[in-house]
Amino acid sequence: MSMLNVTRLRVLRELHLRGTLAAVADAMSYTPSAVSQQLSQLEREAGVPLLEKVGRGVRLTPRAITLVDHTEAILARLELAESELAAAQPDVQGTLRVASFQSVVLELAPAALTLLAERHPRLQVEITQRDETLGSRGLLAHEFDVVLGEEFPGRPHEIRAGVDRENLLRDPLLLAMPSHGPLAELPADVARLADAPWALDPAGLAMGAWSRDVCRAAGFEPDVRFDTPDPLLQAHLVRSGHAVAMLPSLIADAHLHGTRLSRLPGDPHRHLYTVARAGRSGHPAIRAFRSALAHVAR
């Protein structure tokens, strides 16, 4: 009886996550033909069909899905073993891959990196700017070790099985208005800003969807003149008198000078947090990174 090969199991898992052989090949630095060969060999090892044709592509059979579930458990156990071995080393070292969104990269990450360089000079941290959805997919696909996430009022996030979440801070969400020009004459009251030009995140992002909900709850659809995920551009548009916006308090001290800031109805906050795969959450590099972020956030 042949034993299942872990590398080939990972290929099957990648296909489950990514959907196409070409995407698996790109993610794993294989050729598409090599991916097909790995999956064919895995089928022979398993002794049951794992793939079925669907048009020009393939999909996993029910037994393949079951095998993916076992693969998740195997990979988590291997990561747990790696974490325990790393904890036995005298120094925190290696490369930590982090996915984060812009406001954290701007305000928390630089100070955290400075602290880590002092405490753990042999640890290298790589930060990629991603929105949370793409970051979470990358976490499950082992592209990232840690992902920073944000959760908005009324929009709780489901905590996936096999993922460890650690809360970081509560960040007030503010109404930002110009301090000069025609818009400065408007009241700092969302319900009375139906005719104002807005600078908001795209509707497909968490901040953009939530801020539109706030406007709709006040009885109007916002006139979004500037649709951008860049909080610094939004802040500049407010400061220069061209728009009003909703922005996180985290960037207020450094980037919102020259604007009028006020609390929104209900004093809403977003929750910032980190997530890591459960099997890797005890790794010294992840613990060190989380500790540095928490220190800076305080």
3-class state of residue 73 by DSSP: helix
pLDDT of residue 183: 95
- The residues of the chain scoring below 70 in pLDDT are 1-2
Strands 197-200 and 244-248: parallel
| pTM recorded for the entire structure | 0.85
Residue-range domains of the chain with CATH: 6-85 (1.10.10.10), 91-170+271-297 (3.40.190.10), 172-266 (3.40.190.10)
How far, in Å, CA of 234 to CA of 108, rounded?
Answer: 19
Strand partners, 198: 224, 244
Strand partners, 221: none
pLDDT of residue 270: 95
Burial class from Cβ neighbours inside 10 Å (0-12, 13-18, 19+) for residue 20 reads middle
The tens digit of pLDDT for each residue in 66-116 reads 999 999 999 989 999 999 999 899 999 999 999 998 888 888 999 999 999
How far, in Å, CA of 204 to CA of 222, rounded?
Answer: 15
pLDDT of residue 3: 80
Cβ atoms of residues 276 and 148 within 8 Å: no
> Running DSSP on this structure, what letter comes out for residue 112?
H
Strand runs (DSSP E) across the chain, as ranges?
A: 51-54, 57-60, 94-100, 123-129, 146-151, 163-178, 197-200, 223-227, 244-248, 259-263, 269-277
